[in-house]
Structure 1
Amino acid sequence: MIVRTLDEIIGTENEMKAETWSSRRFLLKKDGMGFSFHETIIYAGTETHIHYQNHLEAVYCVEGDGEIETVADGKVYPIKNGTMYALNDNDEHYLRGGKTDMRLICVFNPPLVGSETHDEEGVYPLLEA
């Protein structure tokens, strides 16, 4: 059994930070679950360009507000507590924080190894270990 707390992750190598977000990585590839599991904070008033070409992601908002805009068609979807979205087609998008920070619970397949961060195209590289 794997049991981890947020306090054990914050400030360690399992918390990745960028200008617009912080990702607390609870489960990673090395845990052998077939997916990775994260809590991500999107900072209020920010915009992040994302295009996961190597991963599928499902996201559930548990706090805050914002929006997601898909690049292909320009559709904008509001996000608030209780909203789920899935990037089932490796959808290129902009994720925007609203008036408050958004707290998101995220699952990635294939799982992240832990050190990934977005490149200039918004992509996480596919790392093996």
Structure 2
Amino acid sequence: MIVKSLDEIIGTNDHVDDQNWESRRFILKKDGMGFSLHDTIIRAGTESIFWYKYHQEAVYCIEGEGEIEDLTDGKVYKIKAGTMYALDGNEKHCLRAKTNMRMVCVFNPPCTGRETHDEEGAYRLPTEEANI
């Protein structure tokens, strides 16, 4: 059984803080669950381009509001607490936060925990060796 609290993650290697967002990573590849689970804050007033070419992601907003734009077709969707979106087609997207947004994110394949976005907004292709 895996039991973790947010207090145990903040300030550790499983807490990745970027300019526009911060991700507190609860379940990672090393945990052997087949997915990773992140508690992510998207900072108010930011706009971020993401393109998970090698991952599928499901996101559930539990606080705040903003919007997501699907850059493959130009559709814009409002996001607020209680909204879920899933990137089942590896859609390149722009996430705009009107207020601080708190999101619960699930990735498949699971993240190792130290990923950062490349110049295209993607995490690199997962490999068997990347089991940090």
What is the TM-score normalised by the length of structure 2? Answer: 0.95
Residue 94 of structure 1 corresponds to: 94
2:76 matched to 1:79? no
2:113 matched to 1:114? yes
TM-superposed CA distance for 1:17, in Å, is: 1.2
CA deviations on 1:16-40 (whole Å, 9 max, x unpaired) are 1111000000000000000000001
Equivalents in 2 of 1:79, 1:49: separation in Å?
Answer: 16
Equivalents in 1 of 2:125, 2:39: separation in Å?
Answer: 20
Runs of 5+ unmatched residues, structure 2? none
Residue 4 of structure 1 corresponds to: 4
Equivalents in 1 of 2:93, 2:22: separation in Å?
Answer: 18
Partner secondary structure for residue 126 of structure 1: coil
Residue 34 of structure 2 corresponds to: 34
TM-superposed CA distance for 1:72, in Å, is: 1.1
Count of residue correspondences: 128
Q: Identity of paired residues, percent?
A: 63
Runs of 5+ unmatched residues, structure 1? none
Letter in 2 for 1:95: L
Give the RMSD, CA atoms, in angstroms: 0.7
CA deviations on 1:75-127 (whole Å, 9 max, x unpaired) are 110000000000000000001111x2000000000000000010110001134
Residue 47 of structure 1 corresponds to: 47
Letter in 1 for 2:46: T
Equivalents in 1 of 2:59, 2:15: separation in Å?
Answer: 18
